[in-house]
Every structure is written in structure tokens, then in C-alpha cells.
Amino acid sequence: MSKQTIFLLRDTSLTQDNTRDFQILFLKIARDLGVEDSIQAVRASDLGIYDKGYVVKDLNNKITYANIQETDIEKFLKATIKGEGSVDEFKYTADKCQLRIVLRNCGLIDPENIEEYMAQQGYCALAKALTEMTPETVIDEMKKSGLRGRGGAGFPTWMKWSFARNSLDETRFVVCNADEGDPGAYMDRSILEGDPHAVVEGMILAGFAIGAQRGFFYIRAEYPLAIKRIETAIEQAYERGLLGNDILGSGFNFDLEIRLGAGAFVCGEETALIESIEGKRGTPRPRPPFPADKGLWNHPTIINNVETLATVAQIINRGGEWLAAIGTEKSKGTKVFAITGKVKNSGLVEIPMGMTLGEVVFGIAGGVLGGRKLMAVQTGGPSGGVIPLKLIDTKVSYEHLAEVGSIMGSGGLIVMDEDDCMVDIPRFYLRFCVEESCGKCAPCRIGGFQMLKILDRIAEGKGVEADLQQLQRIAKGMQKASLCALGQTAPNPVLSTMKYFPEEYRQHVEDKKCRAGKCTKMVQYTIDQTHCKKCKLCVVNCPVGAISGSREAGYVVDQVKCIKCGTCYEVCKFKAIVRK
């Protein structure tokens, strides 16, 4: 039989999934054209592309086509299979900029079937490590790769491993940190759900490298599907002798268990996570001793992020130099980001380190929603900073992001436009940190609360000049004296917005104005009589009856009655409502 072209089909629209219907139609048209024997059309569960209509990926030629209508299928098949005509118009370009290493299997293989993972070189790295390598050479390979932790801090993975390896204590543990707490980010969930075996293999390799006997998956309970997929993956690995005693006849024993989180952001912090696995309240421990020295039940423990572990097997397979060739001098490999906010194509992307933020936001993600102007992007979630438009050419890497006052973080990338207020955003993040602070240390517990109170005051239009200095002072105290990185980094969103948008803070404090109209206590809605067409839509929709008047005299908003809900602003078709 001649070689078949394999097509992956996927309905990427966000509201419904008609992939099955599309596949049936696709196959029917192929039959009508007499090309059904030269193609295979497979439904994919996720291609990492969203809101692009029907997407077809030509696996043989590695070309992706997007926005294909049912009526285009015939033309599409004629062009791709018979070579009649062209379908360049459907070519999906964003794919070129992405580099899928961690997400390579996501959406392509059946995550609940170990065979499919194995067909993609799965568990080859484990076999290689156990038969041809020693723990030391595994760590060496990791060192060559330059892989740094993807959980936020970016600590070199090999170093952590060798600390544990060199410990005198022989009882050691590996923990996978799958407590993805950053709101607005879901990279780890997608990896666990899409390619669970890659993480399991990474765990076993880590266990082999440091000489651990047991490993724990710490997964947030709010990810039931991820939990189930990992459960299945572990079960299958046991069945195949990839876990348990004497793995692949090498004499290496390793067991894996799942522990569930219970909705506490701070439990993503490694020492708090250890407390939580031990069945206690998740409050961080002072460091040192570091977990690699004294972790779970006081034995050496390494804690790695899902994405970090999902990269390990490929490093062993392809060699450390392979990964080291990708990225910048100090940041190697790729990073997965969840792009959200005011952006056209939100979704998951995996990019090589060193690409600029602008390329990601404008290139891959298609720019700002509704053609509006980009204000800033935010990376690192509640621990990160805001990066203004003028720095959009900053490279995505640990060192470059740190230089501009943000962090790589776990992979949230939030796009903000002119409608977002640069006092309101940090207030949102700070409130998050205050709610999630475990309360163990005073700088975080009290400092965070006081900073939030000041920001609340500023947002209400009651801020004074001295408040700004006070914010800086408390922030410094928190950065220096908090017990864990939650408190140390909580002021980051505030500090970075103060640094890049001082004018906005000044407006809030001095002029009592919010440019974006988000700080509702300060805004006033008025009606611009020249634009008003007297349609009365605002009058009818106002929930408190604050708008009155007549056709002749015009309509006005009663500022005392107005609750500043913004309904009139939304419903007006003639932009006659002015928000100031």
C-alpha cells in the first residue's frame, strides 16, 4: 500500500466540539473523491490551537491548516492529495514560532494508553538510564542540558538533584509539584491530562538519579481528570514493571503515590507542600535546611514542577546538548505559557526561550482583542510583575524577565489593554496573596493586609501622597523578612506598576481620577448631549432609575442615585455616555 497522509482533525471553536461530525464529512468527501485509501483522518483531542474553527494538521508534511469550513474540504483534499490547486490561504502560521517539546504528545496520543506513549519513544529514556547509565551520568546529562525549574524560581535542576544524591541519609523522596495555584494558568493541568506518562517517566528517572525509593504526586483536588490520568498511568506503569521492585531487571525499586491538595495556594511552596503531604496545615518551614537536605519526614526530598519533570525523559533520550542548544545563555529549552486576558487567541503555547514577549503576544496570540492598544503584560501571576508596552521586546528568559522586575513564574501570561487600571490589577493580586497567606509570619500576614488597605484607600479616591511612600516601605519589609516566597514576592505587582505607571498612581491620589474607569468609587457617568440620540435605552436599563429627563430637555444622570454599575455605558449604542 502506498504511503498514507495522516490528517489530525479538531474543532477548535470554544463553545462546541463538532470534531466527530467534521471527521465523518471529511471521510465522506474523501470517498467521493476516491482518495480515501491515501489518507487517514484522525480526531485529535487538542492541538494547542483555539478558536480557529476546524483545524487540520497534515502530520506527514507537518503543516497545519486552520479555519476550514465544511465547504472547503473538497478543495482542501484536492490540493493536498491530488495536487490540484492551492490551499496556502488556510495555512496556520503561528505554529512556526512554537516549539513543542513538553507538549509534543499533548492531543496527539491517547493519554490513557501506555502503548501510544511508548510508540513515541516513551520509557526509552528510562530503559537507557537503567541499563547504560549511572545516577551520576544522569545528573551529568541534566547539568549539560542546563534545565532550570519551571515552577517559578528557576533553580538548576541538576544541582537540586545532586544535593539529594550526595546526602548521607539513604531514605530519599521525589515529589512532583502539581499544585498549580497561579490563577489564570493551566499549563500543568494540560500536561498531566495530555501526557501523564511523560511526567511519570520523569519522576522515575529523578528517583533513579537521586537514589530515592518513593515518589509522591501532589495534585490539586480540583483537577479530577488529571488525577485520574495520573492514576491510570501509574497503574499501567506498575503492570509493565516500570514501577515497583527491580524495575526492568536493574535492581532499582521505586514506588509512586498520589496525594491531593485541598485548595491552598501556599501549598505550592515547597516546604508548605511537604507539610501538606505529611497531613498537616500547609505552612512553610524556615530554610535552611532545604528540602534536598531535610524534606519529607526529615529525609532528603527533591520537589520538581510538572513541566520540569516532563522534560527530563527527552533530555536523557536526546542528550543534554540537544536542549542546551535551544534558548538563551542562561535559560535553556522551552517554556509553556497560558496566554489569557485581552488577547485574540488565548490558549497554551510552548515557545523557545529567548523569543520576545511581543512576538508571543502579537505573533502567536494575534494581538490585542478588538484592535485595542496594549497596555502591559503580566507574567508570574501574584508573584510576578507587570511589563509595560515599551518593554515588550523583552526576551522571555529567567534573566531578562528578572531584569525588568518580573519573573518567569509558572507560565501565566496575561495581556492587559487600555481598559485595565494599573492600580486595580495589583490590588487584585495583592488581595489574592492576602487571602492565601498562611498567617505564620508577620511580615506577610500584616504587611500584605496593610498594603491592601492602602491600595483600597487609593482606589476609593482617599489616597494621600504619603501612602505611596508607605507602600514602598512595607513592600521592602515584606521582601526582606517574609518566611517564604509568597510574602517575599507578594509586593511585586504593586512595585512594578508603581515603577512603570507612576502617572496612574499620581492621578488616583492627586486628581482622584481613574483613567480606565475601573475604580468605580471615583468614576462619574454623564451624558454627552451632542451624541445622545434620546433613544432612552439607558433610562430603561438603569437598575436604580438614576437617569431622568425628556426628549426635549435631554437626559441626565443623577449622581446621588447612581451606583456606578456601568450598565448605561454598556447599552448605549451611540457612545453618548461619558465615563470619567
Ligand X SMILES: Cc1cc2nc3c(=O)[nH]c(=O)nc-3n(C[C@H](O)[C@H](O)[C@H](O)COP(=O)(O)O)c2cc1C
Q: Residue 263 binds what, of ligand FES, ligand X, other proteins, none (CB under 5 to 8 Å, by partner type)?
A: other proteins
Q: What is the closest distance, in whole angstroms, from the C-beta atom of residue 186 to ligand FES in the complex?
A: 7
How far is C-alpha 231 from the chain's CA centre? 23
Q: Residue 196 binds what, of other proteins, ligand X, ligand FES, none (CB under 5 to 8 Å, by partner type)?
A: none
**Is residue 10 a contact partner of residue 85, using CB atoms and an 8 Å limit?**
no
Q: Does 303 bind ligand X (CB under 6 A)?
A: yes
Task: Enumerate residues 6+ apart whose C-beta is below 8 A from 530.
Answer: none
Q: Residue 46 binds what, of ligand X, ligand FES, other proteins, none (CB under 5 to 8 Å, by partner type)?
A: other proteins
Site residues for other proteins per CB under 8 A: 14-15, 17, 45-46, 50-51, 181-186, 189, 193, 220-225, 227-228, 259-265, 276-282, 297, 338, 340-342, 346-347, 378, 381, 412, 414, 416, 420, 425, 428-429, 432, 438, 565-567
- The footprint of ligand X on residues 353-412 (CB under 6 A) is 410
How far is residue 314's CA from residue 121's CA, in Å, rounded to a whole number?
9
Kindly write down the DSSP assignment for every residue of 555-572, as one continuous string. EEE-TTT-----HHHHH-
Helix (H) or strand (E) holding 234: helix 224-239
Q: Does 55 bind ligand X (CB under 6 A)?
A: no
Among 150, 189, 335, 508, contact with ligand X (rule: CB under 6 A): 150
Assign 543 to helix, strand or coil: coil
Kindly write down the DSSP assignment for every residue of 280-300, as one continuous string. S------SSSPTTTS-GGGS-
Q: Does 484 bind ligand X (CB under 6 A)?
A: yes
Q: Based on CB atoms, which residue is closest to ligand FES, 177 or 340? A: 340
Q: What is the closest distance, in whole angstroms, from the C-beta atom of residue 486 to ligand FES in the complex?
A: 19
Q: What is the closest distance, in whole angstroms, from the C-beta atom of residue 476 to ligand X in the complex?
A: 18
Q: Based on CB atoms, which residue is closest to ligand X, 308 or 331? A: 308
C-alpha cell at 308: 520540569
Q: Residue 225 binds what, of ligand FES, ligand X, other proteins, none (CB under 5 to 8 Å, by partner type)?
A: other proteins
Q: Does 566 bind ligand FES (CB under 6 A)?
A: no
Among 48, 111, 122, 151, contact with ligand X (rule: CB under 6 A): 151
Q: Residue 277 binds what, of other proteins, ligand X, ligand FES, none (CB under 5 to 8 Å, by partner type)?
A: other proteins
Number of residues that bind ligand X (CB under 6 A): 24
Q: What is the closest distance, in whole angstroms, from the C-beta atom of residue 190 to other proteins in the complex?
A: 9
How far is residue 146's CA from residue 509's CA, in Å, rounded to a whole number?
46
Task: Enumerate residues 6+ apart whose C-beta is below 8 A from 308.
Answer: 147, 149, 150, 151, 157, 202
Q: Based on CB atoms, which residue is closest to other proteins, 66 or 312? A: 66
**Is residue 200 a contact partner of residue 208, using CB atoms and an 8 Å limit?**
no
Assign 365 to helix, strand or coil: coil
Among 48, 149, 291, 447, contact with ligand X (rule: CB under 6 A): 149
Q: What is the closest distance, in whole angstroms, from the C-beta atom of residue 267 to ligand FES in the complex?
A: 19
Give the up-direction half-sphere exposure of residue 493: CA atoms within 13 A in the CB hemisphere. Answer: 31
Select from 103-111, 166-174, 274-282, 302-310 the region that touches ligand X (CB under 6 A). Answer: 302-310
- The footprint of ligand X on residues 251-270 (CB under 6 A) is 265-266, 268-270
Q: Based on CB atoms, which residue is closest to ligand X, 34 or 263? A: 263
C-alpha cell at 464: 494621600
Among 98, 177, 334, 397, contact with ligand X (rule: CB under 6 A): 177
Q: How far is CA 142 from CA 157, 159, 310, 320, in A?
A: 7, 9, 13, 6
How far is residue 182's CA from residue 338's CA, in Å, rounded to a whole number?
11
Q: Based on CB atoms, which residue is closest to ligand FES, 183 or 549? A: 183
Q: Residue 414 binds what, of ligand X, ligand FES, other proteins, none (CB under 5 to 8 Å, by partner type)?
A: other proteins
Q: Nearest residue by C-beta to ligand FES?
A: 184
**Is residue 277 a contact partner of residue 216, using CB atoms and an 8 Å limit?**
yes
Assign 208 to helix, strand or coil: helix
Q: What is the closest distance, in whole angstroms, from the C-beta atom of residue 5 to ligand X in the complex?
A: 39
Q: What is the closest distance, in whole angstroms, from the C-beta atom of residue 295 to ligand X in the complex?
A: 12
Q: Does 461 bind ligand FES (CB under 6 A)?
A: no
Q: Residue 485 binds what, of ligand FES, ligand X, other proteins, none (CB under 5 to 8 Å, by partner type)?
A: ligand X
Among 53, 184, 366, 461, contact with ligand FES (rule: CB under 6 A): 184
Q: What is the 3-state secondary structure (H, E, C) of 445-510?
A: HHHHHHHHHHHHHHHCCCCCHHHHHHHHHHHHHHHHHCCCHHHHHCCHHHHHHHHHCHHHHHHHHH
Q: Does 183 bind ligand FES (CB under 6 A)?
A: yes
Task: Enumerate residues 6+ apart whose C-beta is below 8 A from 218.
Answer: 175, 176, 177, 178, 179, 259, 260, 261, 267, 273, 276, 277
Q: What is the closest distance, in whole angstroms, from the C-beta atom of residue 25 to ligand X in the complex?
A: 42
Q: Based on CB atoms, which residue is closest to other proteins, 10 or 148? A: 10
Q: Based on CB atoms, which residue is closest to ligand FES, 189 or 299? A: 189
Q: How far is CA 161 from CA 113, 275, 332, 371, 418, in A?
A: 30, 21, 18, 47, 45
Among 146, 152, 388, 411, contact with ligand X (rule: CB under 6 A): 152
Helix (H) or strand (E) holding 319: none
Kindly write down the DSSP assignment for every residue of 517-540, as one continuous string. S-SGGG--EEE-TTT-----HHHH
C-alpha cell at 52: 480557529
Q: Based on CB atoms, which residue is closest to ligand X, 198 or 485? A: 485
Do the bridges between strand 347-352 and strand 334-341 make them parallel or antiparallel, or are there none, so unpaired?
Answer: antiparallel
Select from 107-115, 248-256, 417-425, 483-491 the region that touches ligand X (CB under 6 A). Answer: 483-491
- Taken in order 92, 97, 102, 104, the sign of the CA dihedral is positive
C-alpha cell at 515: 483613567
**Is residue 23 a contact partner of residue 6, using CB atoms and an 8 Å limit?**
no
Q: Does 283 bind ligand X (CB under 6 A)?
A: no
Q: Residue 395 binds what, of other proteins, ligand FES, ligand X, none (CB under 5 to 8 Å, by partner type)?
A: none
Residues lying near ligand X in the complex (CB under 6 A) are found at 149-153, 155, 157, 177, 179-181, 265-266, 268-270, 303-305, 308, 410, 484-486
Residues lying near ligand FES in the complex (CB under 6 A) are found at 183-184
